[in-house]
Amino acid sequence: MLEGRKLLITGVITRKSIAFAVAREAQLAGAEVVLTGFGRSRRLTERAAKRLPEPPDVLELDVNSEADLAGVADELESRWGGLDGVLHAIAYAPEDALGGAFLETGYESAAQAFRTSAYSLQALGRHLAGLLERESGGGIVGLDFDASLAWPSYDWMGVAKAALESTARYLARDLGPRGIRVNLVSAGPIETAAAGGIPGFGDLAGAWGEAAPLGWDESNPDPVARAVCFLLSDWASGVTGEILHVDGGFHAIGAPGAGRRGSQPVNGQVPAAAGERA
């Protein structure tokens, strides 16, 4: 599916990262991959990279740094001369922007969540569009968590994800004439290092599998990774501005617990959601 493709994968922190599963599936499908890391966590990325089928290079990228973004674009230009696809798997919200104190969160924390989690998609696309266009059009895929609802405890990360969804649509509008597709994958809760920092993740993960019609295994990121690979492939050549839900069908069920026989909501309501992506 991705034979000969050249992909930039952000967001690999550990082997449990969704981005790690994407990199693994992409390599198995024939792609050549480069990862990005940032600051002290780059060591973790480099360690995880060694566990991939073909250990890739790791480039320094703070997505909020214009210099880093330009540096990655220059490196990919000299290395490959073009690019076929990018995974945006980056999100962050300060501690005071999560956990149920929505009304108390100050502007600086909310702005940091927006810049890192949503504006960064535009920044990445802006710097890499020339490389993607040069290869007769490529794909940008971002990791999302359903922003159509207000989730308990998710707070300003939920707002940032809503901004991410809107950003993806505007990017699809502006990059489409250049042959570049922009899509999101809205995943169910997956056990990652980032998810562990979201209040209520344990309750959500347990209840999600009961409510989703297909069930849901929060320890298995492979269905999400394969959907990302599909969107980065020529098989999705006519798809842009889309949000593809890979969540066992949870998003389609109006009454949690009604989708699977014998399942019940937790305390009569949907539990807190966790969708921050490392």
Residue 22 has pLDDT above 90, yes or no: yes
pLDDT surpasses 70 at 51: yes
Summarised one tens digit per residue, pLDDT across range 245-264 is: 999 999 998 766 554 554 44
Instruction: Report the candidate in 198, 16, 5 with the shortest Cα–Cα distance to residue 93.
Output: 198
**CB crowding 28-49: b at 16 or more within 10 Å, else e:** ebebbbbbbbbeeebebbbebb
pLDDT digits (tens, 9 = 90+) for 168-221: 999 999 999 999 999 999 999 998 766 666 666 666 666 787 889 999 898 999
Nearest to 56 by CA among 39, 90, 79, 82: 79
pLDDT at 274: 35
Q: Is the pLDDT of residue 277 over 60?
A: no
Strands 58-60 and 85-88: unpaired
C-alpha distances in angstroms, 19 versus 85, 117, 128, 267?
13, 15, 19, 33
How far is residue 76's CA from residue 80's CA, in Å, rounded to a whole number?
Answer: 6
DSSP 8-state code for residue 269? B
- 32 in helix, strand or coil? strand
Mean pLDDT of 10-28: 97
Cβ atoms < 10 Å from Cβ of 242 = 16
- Res 97: pLDDT: 95
Catalytic positions are: 154, 161
Mean pLDDT over all residues of the chain?
89
Q: CATH assignment of 6-252, given 3.20.20.220, 3.40.50.2300, 3.40.50.720, 1.20.120.530?
A: 3.40.50.720
